[in-house]
Amino acid sequence: MEALLAQLLNGLDKGGAYALIALGLTLVFGTLGVVNFAHGALFMLGAFCAVAFRQLITLESITIDPDQLSPWGTPLEIKTPLAQTWFGEWGSFIVEYSVPLSIVFAIPVMLLIGIAMERGLIKHFYKRPHAEQILVTFGLAIVLQEVVKAIFGANPISQPMPSALQGAADVGSWLGLAPNMVTYPWWRLTYFVFSIGVLSAVFAFLRFTTFGMVVRAGMVDRETVGILGINIGRRFTIMFGIAAVVAGLAGVMYTPLVPPNYHLGMDFLVLSFVVVVVGGMGSLPGAVAAGFLLGILQSFASMNEVKSILPGIDQIIIYLTAVVILLVRPRGLLGRRGVMES
Amino acid sequence: MTDTLKGMRRRTLLKSGLAGILATGVAPLIFTRGAYAQEFCNAPTGDTVTLGFNVPQTGAYADEGADELKAYELAVEHLNGGGDGGMIPTFSSKTLKGSGILGKKVAYVTGDTQTKADAARDSARRMIERDGAVMITGGSSSGVAIAVQGLCQEMGVIFMAALTHSNDTTGKDKKRYGFRHFFNAYQSGIAIAPTLGKAYGTDRIAYHLTADYTWGWTQEESMKNATEALGWKTIAPVRTPVGAGDFSQYITPVLNSGADVLVLNHYGFDMVNSLTQAVQFGLRDKQVNGKQFEIVVPLVSDLMAKGAGASMKGIYGTANWDWQLGDDASKAFTKSFGAKFGQPPSQAAHTSYVQTLLYADACERAGTFYPPEVIKALEDYEFDGLGNGPTTYRGADHQCFKDVYVVQGKQAPANPFDLLQVVDVASKDAVTYDPAIFGGELGPDTPAMLIVDVLISNPGGRFSR
């Protein structure tokens, strides 16, 4: 029971990341009809927004103290973060909370990157076949990751989480179980809550604003919305920017869990495509449901009891699910009738 | 001219043709290889000798690779007479004078193994065939080391392995052309078990998370055998892919497994991730079976301790070497490395530096670069003054035998580099074992691949006398 609860929690935080990335991917497909293979790179760029922000605020001044010696006999270099020098305690707070604070930095940056990507490259491929869209966006993803590699290097750069969110919460005791039976890291719980928050915000935006209503109408029938005199293209461009922000935020908050490197996007790209296919191409609730479903399935497949019966199942469960879905229900769990079924 | 041609018969033509072939010097390579003892792959002909440094510059072990490369640069500088000489003055053999190797200036080429066996073989092959490297050295990752060692055996090029800890490197996959200074998983198990017994008692249940490749498997087996000999029990081990990043789905089952010790058979960034995540899950704050839950990392390095930060405090592991050892050689190396790079050397850097010096010294003692002679000079060689105390390069399996250090993550570091402390030393005798337990064959000292085959398949390869 406790073991199942722990794996379920683990599935929820993994699922949160999958759902956030897949939501943006399916949003772009649903609005612009583009299969965006550069979407994983947007997740990676988001993570590097956090890295860049931290590097910016931890720029150090180096002073040499001739009275103290390093272990190998040279004068000791003392490094002080400039933020601390300038802002004192407030500066150390900024340094400690750099990951959550970099959300503020990442939102405009990712919005701009998204819009630039759509206006600069992807709009030229709307009328081209899907195969060409995939090729060009995949190429873009490689270019972006090489740029990040050139700037930040190839190695993972770890991002510390705030000390208040280190350690684990006794989730079991909240549910009336014995103390310390089911513990779960605070940051992973935060990630899950954060992903629910972002997902809700996107859904609320689409459901309760006029802008969102027009976008939803455009997703159903772009031509009619256009005939009504609405510049649907511009709205879709903004939606592309929003999809980039969602992927970027997923990346920012992911950095304390796994130190990001330039390859992070590719690791998530295939996964998020599987999520979209399982959920249904173009279906927003489908992407979210499939994200959490696959996260939980992957987590349960990693249990020893399961692995002892089916060795290696933890590595293939996601793809196995996709194969079954494509065979049994090609349009995906919540996909529209007719999509991928013709 | 026409008259001459007319007068020439087929038999005469064949005779003169054969004479011509013999005269070019190609023929001895093909027909009489055994008669010319000095023919070998990439024999240095000019004023320089080229060494190939094959390290991971990307991938899960890239930190170690970067440090290894620094150490190689330093070794080359010292061999060529630059800097303060590092460990050359402390080395028991006095053949190295700072004038290169056998009077030839040392040059080097580098390759990125990407922590992948196929990429590592490709880059080693490139360095041998295109760049003319006479010796290949590097790590990390035993999978990589074993693959490159196999290639070097085929090509007849000596491979001085750097960071590789699997029993297989000098066990079932040992090669005549491969040499390892670094210790192995079996020795880690023997060394750490008494310390674990003292610290955590003999009634423990261990849960292993293991990197799913040769090193992880042998490390897991060695730790299992050593701790079960203490009286510990082991829960069925769990294998994890290399470079998994997020290990959380493998850590959550540990919480309720009934185990009270987690053994992390991970290295490099994988270990940094899995240890940090295990600590985030509150494992070290747990009480299981009435005991404090503990984590053990059998192979640990300064670089990993730095990456893991506070999570590493109090955790036991083993190391081949530590920069805070008090002997003259370790001090000299740390001083030299620290002054050049602004950080102390890791154990990966140390073994890389030592292997380069040992190769250079073996060439000097053999008086040639000819690999079979250099191999003979290294086999059963006894030396001291390279930071590990008296050491033997055992001829039977090309494994170095020396003391093994049990280290612990420091609770209160005195400076940013003061991360590990040596808490126990397992003597050279205690970690010496019978080479027969791991099987394997060293193979011949003449390369398996015939030179004629290489000439056909690789016209660009450099062969000379």
| Interval B80-84 mean pLDDT | 93
Among candidate residues B259, B271, B333, the one with its CA nearest the CA of residue B300: B271
Q: Could you say which residues from 294 to 333 on chain B have a Cβ atom under 8 Å away from some Cβ of chain A?
A: 307, 309, 323-324
High-pLDDT (> 70) share of chain B, %: 87
Within a domain: A339: no
Could you give the CA distance from residue B121 to residue B127 in angstroms, rounded to a whole number? 10
**Same domain membership, residue B125 and residue B63:** yes
Q: How many domains does chain A have?
A: 1
| Paired sense of beta strands B400-401 and B261-265, if any | unpaired
pLDDT the model gives residue A342: 56
Does B205 contact chain A (CB < 8 Å)?
no
Q: What is the pLDDT of residue A220?
A: 85
Q: What is the pLDDT of residues B23-61, one digit of tens each?
A: 444 433 433 333 334 467 888 888 999 999 999 887 767
pLDDT at residue B369, as a whole number: 94
Please tell me the predicted confidence (pLDDT) of residue A170: 86
With CB atoms and an 8 Å threshold, state whether B248 touches A257: yes
Q: Which of B112, B115, B240, B249 to mutate to test the interface with A (most CBs of A within 10 A)?
A: B249
**One domain, residues B140 and B58:** yes
Measure the CA–CA gap between B7 and B29, rounded to whole angstroms.
33
Query: Do the Cβ atoms of B347 and B267 come closer than 8 Å?
Result: no
| pLDDT(B212) > 60 | yes
Contacts of A232 (CB under 8 A, 6+ apart): A214, A215, A218, A222, A225, A226
Tokens at B207, concatenated: 């849960």
Residues of A in Cβ contact (< 8 Å) with B62: 154-155
Cβ(B221)–Cβ(B184) below 8 Å = no
In a domain, A207, yes or no: yes
**pLDDT band, very low/low/confident/very high, at B183 (cuts 50, 70, 90):** very high
Q: Minimal Cα–Cα distance from A165 to chain B, Å?
A: 10
- B253 and A304 within 8 Å at the Cβ level: the answer is yes
Amino acid symbol at A35? V
Task: Confirm whether B460 is domain-assigned.
Answer: no
Take residue A8 and report the two structure tokens written for it.
Answer: 């379920």
User: Does residue B232 belong to any structural domain of this protein?
Assistant: yes
Looking at residue B456, its pLDDT comes to 47
Q: Chain B 334-373, CB below 8 Å of chain A: which residues?
A: 334-339, 342, 344
Are residues B257 and B172 located together in one domain of the fold?
no
Q: What is the pLDDT of residue B94?
A: 93
* pLDDT attached to residue B450: 45
For A258, which of B63, B245, B309 is closest by C-beta distance? B245
In terms of domains, do B254 and B280 share one? yes
Tens digit of pLDDT at every position of chain A (342 positions): 778 888 899 999 889 999 999 999 999 988 888 889 999 999 999 999 999 999 888 887 777 777 777 777 777 777 777 777 777 778 788 888 889 999 999 999 999 999 999 999 998 988 888 889 999 999 999 999 999 988 988 778 888 888 888 888 888 888 888 777 788 899 999 999 999 999 999 999 999 999 999 999 988 888 899 899 999 889 999 999 999 999 999 999 999 998 898 888 888 888 888 999 999 888 899 999 999 999 999 999 888 788 888 888 888 999 999 999 989 988 888 887 766 665
Q: How many residues does chain A have?
A: 342
Domain presence at residue B152 = yes
Q: Which of A155, A173, A313 to mutate to test the interface with B (most CBs of B within 10 A)?
A: A155
C-alpha–C-alpha distance, residues B48 and B71, integer Å:
20
Q: What are the residues whose beta carbons fall under 8 Å from the beta carbon of B3, sequence distance 6 or more?
A: none
CA distances from A11 to A17, A18, A186, A191, B244 (A): 10, 10, 15, 12, 16
Report the C-alpha gap between A93 and A89 in whole angstroms: 6
> Quick check: B223 pLDDT over 80?
yes
B24 touches chain A (CB under 8 A): no
Domain check: are B93 and B164 in the same one? yes
Would you say B179 and B202 are in contact if contact means Cβ atoms under 8 Å apart? Answer: no
pLDDT of residue A335: 82
Question: Both tokens of residue A184?
Answer: 């779960």
Do B157 and B177 meet the contact criterion of CB atoms below 8 Å apart? Answer: yes
Domain that holds residue B307: 186-319+419-426
pLDDT at residue B323, as a whole number: 93
Task: Tell me the shortest Cα–Cα distance from B265 to chain A, in angstroms.
Answer: 17
* Minimal-distance CA residue of chain B relative to A305: B253
- The range of the structural domain enclosing residue A12 comes to 2-328
Asked if B174 and B196 sit in the same domain, the reply is no
Q: What is the pLDDT of residue B133?
A: 94
Task: Assess whether the previous peptide bond of B140 is cis (omega < 30° from 0).
Answer: yes
8 Å CB contact of B249 and A14: yes
Torsion (CA) A132, A133, A137, A139 in degrees, nearest 10: 0
**Shortest CA distance from A15: residue in chain B:** B249
Q: Is the pLDDT of residue B109 over 90?
A: yes
Residues in a beta bridge with B319: B405
Asked if the structure places residue B312 within a domain, the reply is: yes
**pLDDT for A178:** 79
* Per-residue pLDDT, B448: 57
Closest CA relative to residue B352, chosen from B102, B94, B52: B52
Number of domains in chain B: 2
Q: Which of B248, B269, B283, B304 to mutate to test the interface with A (most CBs of A within 10 A)?
A: B248
Tell me if B171 is assigned to some domain: yes
pLDDT of residue A340: 63
Query: Which residues in chain A have Cβ-Cβ distances shorter than 8 Å to B250?
Result: 302
Say yes or no for a CB contact (<8 Å) between B255 and A3: yes
Spatial distance between the Cα atoms of A18 and A94, rounded to a whole number of angstroms: 29
CA neighbor of B402 nearest in space, from B305, B315, B325: B325
CB nearest B334 (choices: A72, A259, A314)? A72
Domain shared by B176 and B190, yes or no: no
Which of B58, B234, B251, B255 is the best mutation test for A, with the most CBs of A within 10 A?
A: B255
Which backbone phi and psi does B108 adopt, to 5 degrees? -145, 155
3-state secondary structure B175-230: CCCEEECCCCHHHHHHHHHHHHHHHHCCCCEEEEEEECCHHHHHHHHHHHHHHHHH
CA A193, distance to chain mean position in Å, is: 14
**What integer pLDDT is reported at residue B286 of this predicted model?**
86
Residue of B nearest to A72 (CA): B335
Identify all chain B residues contacting A9, using CB atoms and an 8 Å cutoff. 252
Chain A residues touching B287 at Cβ < 8 A: 180
The answer to whether A43 and A21 are in contact (CB under 8 A) is yes
- Residue A341, domain member (yes or no): no
Dihedral in degrees, nearest 10, Cα atoms A159, A160, A164, A167: 110
- Domain membership flag for residue A340: no
In a domain, A247, yes or no: yes
Interface of B with A in 414-443 (CB under 8 A): 415, 417-418
| pLDDT at site B17 | 46
Q: Does B57 touch chain A (CB under 8 A)?
A: yes
The answer on B314 and B190 residing in a single domain is: yes
CB-CB contact of A105 with A49 (8 Å): yes
Maximum alpha-carbon separation in chain B: 105
Among candidates B236, B257, B417 on the partner chain, residue whose Cβ is nearest the Cβ of A308: B236
In this prediction, residues B425-447 reach a mean pLDDT of: 90
Q: Are B239 and B270 within one domain?
A: yes
Least confident of B64-68, B139-143, B403-407, B457-461: B457-461
Q: How confident is the model at residue B464 (pLDDT cuts 50, 70, 90)?
A: very low
Distance from CA of A194 to the nearest CA of B (A): 18
Same domain as B58, residue B133: yes
Chain A residues lying within 8 Å of B248, measured CB to CB: 10, 13-14, 188, 257
Residue B8 lies in a domain: no
What pLDDT band is residue B15 in, cutting at 50, 70 and 90? low
User: Do B290 and B214 belong to one domain?
Assistant: yes
**For B371-448, where are the alpha helices, taking DSSP H only?**
371-378
Decide if A145 is inside a domain.
Answer: yes
From the number of C-beta atoms within 10 Å of its C-beta (0-12, 13-18, 19+), residue A66 rates as exposed
Interface membership of B277 toward A (CB under 8 Å): yes
Is residue A338 assigned to a domain? Answer: no
User: What is the pLDDT averaged over residues B340-353?
Assistant: 93
Residue B296 binned pLDDT confidence (cut-offs 50, 70, 90): very high
Helix axes A210-220, A2-32, angle to 10 degrees: 80
Residue A50 forms part of a structural domain: yes
| Residues B169, B200 share a domain | no
Q: What is the CATH number of the domain that holds B95?
A: 3.40.50.2300
Query: What torsion do the CA atoms of B270, B275, B281, B287 make, to the nearest 10 degrees?
Result: 140
- The verdict on a CB contact (< 8 Å) between A257 and B339 is no
* Both tokens assigned to B72: 């190689």
Q: Compare CB distances from B253 to A167, A259, A303 and report the shortest one's residue.
A: A303
ipTM: 0.81
Q: What is the pLDDT of residue B433?
A: 94
Tell me if B158 sits within 8 A of B373, measured CB to CB. no
CB pairs under 8 A between A and B: 114
Closest approach of A166 to chain B, Cα-based (Å): 6
Adjacent-strand bridge partners of B205: B233
In a domain, B138, yes or no: yes
CA distance B196 to chain A (A): 25
